[in-house]
Homo-oligomer: A and B are copies of this chain.
Amino acid sequence: MRPLKALISLEEAMHIAMDLVRPIERKETVPILDALRRVSAEDVHSSIDVPLADRAGMDGYAVVARDTFPAGKFKPVTLRRIETLYADGVPRKRVASGRCTEVATGSTLPKGADAVVMVEDTERERDLVKVYSPVHPGENVSGRGEDIARKSLVVGEGEVLTPAKVGALAAIGMPRARVYARPRVSILTTGDEVVPPGKPIRAGQVYDINSHTMASVVRENGGDPVSLGRVSDRLESLRAALKKALANDLVIFSGGSSVGEKDIIVDVLRSMGELLFHGIAVKPGKPTVLGRVNGKAVLGMPGYPTSCLSNCYLILAPMLCRMARLPPPYERIVEVPLAKRVVSTIGRVEFHTVRIVDGQAVPAYKESGAITSMAHADGYIEIPANVDLIEKGDVVRVVLF
């Protein structure tokens, strides 16, 4: 057996891991609705003015502003209505002095007119419109290109497409968006004792938890999980599986990275590529392995479900976000006082699950094998390597699950 000796710090491990992965260069074209929260792969400039032409910003009457200057509450100016437009109406008549055209918000402004009087400031009897308030030229008019000028930048390369940005692409008439491809992540579970959910199980076997939690974290951080199933612990099976898994952008294994004699991920990495680290000063999650094969990162996660999942949050999620070009994980964070003193160990980062109860963080940590300690928790706190104690009442940053 081979004990874990040279543990590296979480900080150093993250440095190596983040340096190893690169933002995905592949691009794809998708309908704008499917582009939500994807990352634009190009600068998008508008090929049109929005609005396409000057248009009414209010319901009312398009006028020659100068005509209205003498108007007042008790001395209306009377204009003759020559046409009525709805929002989609194309004006056919020119508005000369003394005339007006009835417009709806969004109507194209008729030639000759340079302002819109709000309907609230008018009174109409058949085609005679009394205007009770003056307007200045340009008043209640949206100028051509006022929202988006032709050739202006609408969405920049690298920007995440929020609902408003999807809307901006629609505004300039783009039905599709060019986005960066999501990182494809091969997920493998090692261990002859691991059984997929839905099959019968006997003593000595466990259901495959990790490939499901890993795939979930991949999906929540902009990646496409590709589950390749269980691999036997034999060297040749593992080599063959890794060869196949390398077709994708990142490979993660769970199990097989503890200290048992069957811990052969390390041997496979050494023989097929390069071992970058084996063992991190973090609890839980110590027996984590990172290697590089054919220029791709291969991450070996601990077999214990909570160790695997806590490392998914601490290590895998930031790697994925870098590959997916997303900002650091969309962390939903609350800052609340700790309900109870928590003790940690100097020299390693500790990951403690908590529940939020009555506005306080109550430690929910059970033991590293207990998936329920995470399933029943609301989030986690990270205790730095140089801190050995957090007192009751101290405010902690809880990252919500």
Contacts and interface: CB of A to CB of B under 8 A. Distances in A.
Contacts of A262: 86-87, 104
Interface in A361-381: 367, 369-372, 374-375, 377
A57 B220 contact: no
Nearest to A156: B376
A162 interface: yes
Nearest to A256: B87
Interface string A164-201: 11111111111110000000000000011101111101
Interface stretch (A47-55, A131-139, A235-243, A382-390): A47-55
Interface stretch (A6-14, A105-113, A273-281): A105-113
A101 interface: no
Interface in A194-233: 195-199, 201-210, 212-213, 215-217, 219-220, 225, 227, 233
Contacts of A216: 33, 36, 162-163, 166-167
A67 interface: no
Given A146-B370, A305-B171, A205 B3 contact: no
A212 B173 contact: no
Interface in A237-265: 258-262
A1 interface: yes
Given A86-B192, A119-B3, A170 B207 contact: yes
A22 to B, nearest CB: 25
A52 B210 CA distance: 17
A197 B174 contact: yes
Given A87-B262, A215-B33, A375-B167, A172 B369 contact: no
A117 B162 CA distance: 55
B213 A105 contact: no
A154 interface: yes
A90 interface: yes
Contacts of A332: 330, 332
A173 B26 CA distance: 37
A122 to B, nearest CB: 9
B163 A372 contact: no
What is the copy number of this chain in the assembly?
Answer: 2
A203 B90 contact: yes
A41 interface: no
A155 interface: yes
A206 B374 CA distance: 50
A79 B332 CA distance: 52
Interface string A140-159: 00100011100000110000
A303 interface: yes
A62 interface: no
A225 to B, nearest CB: 8
Contacts of A106: 191, 193, 206, 303
Given A52-B205, A87-B260, A164-B213, 6 more contacts: A53-B203, A55-B204, A90-B203, A147-B372, A164-B401, A175-B198
Interface of A: 1, 3, 32-33, 36-37, 48, 50-53, 55, 57, 59, 86-90, 104-108, 119-120, 142, 146-148, 154-155, 162-176, 191-193, 195-199, 201-210, 212-213, 215-217, 219-220, 225, 227, 233, 258-262, 303-305, 309, 312, 330, 332, 367, 369-372, 374-375, 377, 401
18 contacts: A1-B119, A32-B197, A33-B225, A52-B206, A86-B233, A87-B191, A87-B303, A106-B191, A164-B375, A166-B216, A167-B309, A168-B372, A168-B375, A171-B207, A171-B305, A172-B207, A173-B195, A173-B199
